[in-house]
Chain A
Amino acid sequence: MDEIKWGLIWPLLVLQAVLAIIGLISLAKAERTRGPKWLWVIILIFGNLLGSVAYFTIGRKES
């Protein structure tokens, strides 16, 4: 196996970052969330894919 192809890995990291950033923007604008906001900040930053998906699907509350 040749060395790790970073050229193929960094787009994945960029997409993960985009997801977390959109989540944070949405969180900043949201008026109400399920559970405390600071918890969602941690989940969005450290929770990777599943953390972001969890925020977008169950984290927000419709006003």
Chain B
Amino acid sequence: MRKVWTLYHKEMLEALRSYKLIWVPVVFMILGIMQPLTTYYMPEILKASGNVPPGMLEGYEMPGAAVVMAQTLGQYGTIGMLILVLGVMNSLAGERSGGTIEMLMVKPVAPAAIVSAKWAAQLTTLIVALGLGVAGAAYYTEQLMGPLSWGRLCAGAGLYGLWLLCAVSLTLLFSAWLRGPAAAFLGLGSAAAMSLAHSLLPSQLGWTPAALTAQSAAIITEGRGGTWGPACSAGVLIVVCLAAASLLIRRNKLPD
């Protein structure tokens, strides 16, 4: 356990020195507060852009606070996920191709310790970024639109974070096997495939991790929780990713 902590400490030090621990949360905060701001000023923005047919703006109705928050989380599902996945794609692939992992593997360290330390570091970045981003977005939404239920918001953000963590864990797994860009491509691809499958067969695949995004929106807007299925399957997926990544690292310890 102490070795996992040592490895985690090293990952966090790297995240700090590469400014990742600063820029990712800042981007999440910008994304978070942009959503309520652009929604609020949408009529002005449309007017300023000029060619709006008259009468269209009359129909514009300001969405409720909860809906804006759900839209904000939707932003994290696209740009946010892209940033997180690009941030994790090289975490194992880079150490494998650069040879630094060889220096780790000759020490009495289990591959599972290396993988879980990396995963924990990614989780830390995710929590800091999502936490600050959602907090900023919620503050702006309350100022501009109206009060929010913070309890529902936390639950919804947690579920969305779990979905993002699935994509991060998948990318980490592919990073144990492929080169960084390929890992990112497959990580995003498999998340997109799960989302697509879920949108095509929502009732059959309601238990999959991809249902977390809809569940998160439902909790924030309606306070309706739904089943534990998606969260449980996400947990299983993450554990499987970590175990498989450890096995891959143990097996092809070095590029022959």
Residue pairs across A and B with CB atoms within 8 Å: the count is 54
Beta-carbon contact of A8 and B19 below 8 Å: no
Chain B interface helix/strand/loop/mixed: helix
Is A41's beta carbon under 8 Å from chain B?
Answer: no
Beta-carbon contact of A9 and B83 below 8 Å: no
Is B192's beta carbon under 8 Å from chain A?
Answer: no
Q: How many residues of A contact B (CB 8 A)?
A: 23
Beta-carbon contact of A53 and B83 below 8 Å: yes
Contact of A12 among B18, B30, B83, B90 (CB under 8 A): B30
Q: Evaluate whether A62 and B19 lie within 8 angstroms (CB atoms) in the complex, with A9-B37, A49-B27 already known.
A: no
Is B76's beta carbon under 8 Å from chain A?
Answer: no
Q: Evaluate whether A22 and B22 lie within 8 angstroms (CB atoms) in the complex, with A62-B94, A62-B98 already known.
A: yes
- Chain A residue nearest in CB terms to B98: A62
Is A35's beta carbon under 8 Å from chain B?
Answer: no
Q: How many residues of B contact A (CB 8 A)?
A: 26
A52 to B20, CA, bound (A): 12
Is B222's beta carbon under 8 Å from chain A?
Answer: no
Beta-carbon contact of B30 and A8 below 8 Å: no
Q: Mark B13-51, 1 if CB is under 8 A from A, else 0.
A: 000001110110011011101100100010110000000
- Chain A residue nearest in CB terms to B87: A57
Is B218's beta carbon under 8 Å from chain A?
Answer: no
- Chain B residue nearest in CB terms to A11: B33
- Chain B residue nearest in CB terms to A58: B86
B122: min CB distance to chain A, Å: 15
Which residues of A are found within 8 Å of B98, using beta-carbon distances?
Answer: 62
Which residues of B are found within 8 Å of A18, using beta-carbon distances?
Answer: 26
Is B8's beta carbon under 8 Å from chain A?
Answer: no
| The 3 nearest A-B residue pairs measured at CB | A57-B86, A15-B30, A19-B26
Pairs across A and B, CB under 8 Å, 12 listed: A5-B144, A8-B140, A12-B34, A12-B37, A15-B26, A19-B27, A19-B30, A25-B19, A52-B23, A53-B27, A56-B19, A57-B87
